[in-house]
Amino acid sequence: MARKTRLHKYKKTDKVGKPPGTLLYMGPKKNVPITVDVFDYNLETIQEFQTDTIPAGLDFKNTPTVTWIDVKGLHNLELIEQIGQKADIHPLTLEDLLNVDQRPKIDIFDTYVYIVIKILSYNDQTQSIDSDQISIILGQHYVLTFLEEETDTFEPLRTRLKAGKGKLRSSTSDYLAYAILDVIVDNYYDVIEKVGERIEDFEEKLMTNPHKMLVKEIYSIKREMLELRKSVWPLREIITKLEKGESDLIRKKTLIYLRDLYDHTIQIIETAEIYRDMISGLLDLYLSSVSNRMNEIIKVLTILSSIFIPLTFIVGVYGMNFRNMPELEWEYGYYVCLLFMLIIAIGMILYFRLRKWL
């Protein structure tokens, strides 16, 4: 699974000795601008603006409208701390969202729900899976999302918000959180489909022309499928906890959509497991194809050797230095010997074809 190019990344050992809740960005230092997209809306109106900080007058906790704050860029610790103070987010949660190698999980608190999952996309140029971590914080009237950098994954969601059609504008913050998860899971379908196409392409190549480079590519996609499984498998637990209503922030009207999302997740997991088995089968297919090809080569060489055995015998007989060999003095002996050898070779070939060895 391909990651973006990293100039420097903090190690987990950098946190040794520091107290719990210490804010330390566990990702690469990036020269990307910090952007904060804010959507504040209800059924009738929507306000949208972009900034690099949280406006002092923005009270997204106590307003009846739904507020979505989308933060791109995690290396500004001052901004992350400011958002945490405004939303009363626990320091341990802030510490987790700054760790970009976090395992997908869900933490349920009294006033908010914290979700960490992976955004997956397929890179057609490198033919690999790109992964980015997103942290989602669901509150009573707000949703906070935190990403390492800009992504177009949520562009369809923003378009739906601006259009004002459908259920999104008339629903509460928990439905917005569901919609975000739904968009991410929909991207998994695209990734799974592209991986399936690569596997089918490998199957055709292995059947027609197996070579060593294919084995390297198969192991590469096998590693990607392992990373994909690590990203998708915990989703089942996350959505199950949301669906069971363990948090009062999840309304009953949203549960039916979460059940549908759970079904989609199970389908993706099952497809990923099938593809894992298929990739293991590709290695067996490669070994079988190489073995069959070797057997064909050995069969051809064996047949050629069998044909030349009697011919070699004849040539060896007439290569002996005896004087009393009548055929040596015969005018047509050489040509008759060649003809006899040709008849033997053709006869053996016809016999092999009759036995379906050729």
Residue 299's CATH number: 1.20.58
Q: Identify the pLDDT of residue 20.
A: 62
Taking only the tens of pLDDT, the chain with its 358 residues reads 544 434 444 555 555 545 565 676 766 656 677 888 899 898 888 988 888 777 665 677 778 889 999 998 888 888 888 888 888 899 889 888 888 888 899 999 989 999 999 998 888 888 788 888 999 999 988 999 999 888 888 998 998 888 877 788 889 999 999 999 999 999 999 888 888 888 888 878 777 777 777 777 888 888 888 888 888 888 888 998 888 877 888 988 999 999 999 999 999 999 988 888 888 887 777 777 777 778 888 888 888 888 888 888 888 887 777 777 777 777 787 888 888 889 988 888 888 888 877 7
Instruction: Please state, in angstroms and as integers, the Cα–Cα distance from residue 40 to each residue in 54, 168, 195, 253, following that order.
Output: 13, 12, 38, 21
Whether 7 is covered by a domain: the verdict is no
Nearest to 23 by CA among 100, 94, 121: 94
Whether 103 is covered by a domain: the verdict is yes
Domain housing 344:
295-354
Q: Both 338 and 229 in a single domain?
A: no
Q: Both 134 and 194 in a single domain?
A: yes
Q: Identify the pLDDT of residue 137.
A: 94
Rounded to whole angstroms, the Cα distance separating 329 from 338 reads 16
Whether 24 is covered by a domain: the verdict is yes
pLDDT tens sequence across 196-235 = 888 888 878 777 777 777 777 888 888 888 888 888 888 8
Q: Identify the pLDDT of residue 4.
A: 43
Residue ending a domain, choose from 237, 267, 288: 288
Q: Both 214 and 119 in a single domain?
A: yes
pTM: predicted TM-score of the whole model, two decimal places: 0.76
The residues, any chain, with a CB within 8 Å of residue 296's CB and separated by 6 or more, are none
How buried is 27 (Cβ within 10 angstroms: 0-12 exposed, 13-18 middle, 19+ buried)?
A: buried
Whether 331 is covered by a domain: the verdict is yes
Q: What single-letter DSSP state applies at residue 9?
A: B
Q: Both 177 and 315 in a single domain?
A: no
Q: Both 118 and 259 in a single domain?
A: yes
Q: Identify the pLDDT of residue 52.
A: 79
Q: Identify the pLDDT of residue 2.
A: 46
Residue ending a domain, choose from 233, 267, 288: 288
CB 9 within 8 A of CB 58: no
Q: Both 241 and 327 in a single domain?
A: no
Q: Both 198 and 342 in a single domain?
A: no
Residue ending a domain, choose from 272, 288, 304: 288
Rounded to whole angstroms, the Cα distance separating 220 from 235 reads 24
Rounded to whole angstroms, the Cα distance separating 301 from 307 reads 10
Q: Both 38 and 79 in a single domain?
A: yes
Indicate the number of domains in the chain.
Answer: 2
Q: Both 222 and 155 in a single domain?
A: yes
Q: Both 59 and 200 in a single domain?
A: yes
Rounded to whole angstroms, the Cα distance separating 174 from 266 reads 21
Q: What single-letter DSSP state applies at residue 104?
A: P
Q: Identify the pLDDT of residue 6.
A: 40
Whether 190 is covered by a domain: the verdict is yes
Q: Both 146 and 202 in a single domain?
A: yes
Whether 2 is covered by a domain: the verdict is no
Whether 4 is covered by a domain: the verdict is no
Whether 177 is covered by a domain: the verdict is yes
Q: Both 79 and 131 in a single domain?
A: yes
- CATH code at 79? 3.30.460.20
Rounded to whole angstroms, the Cα distance separating 179 from 108 reads 19
Q: Identify the pLDDT of residue 14.
A: 55
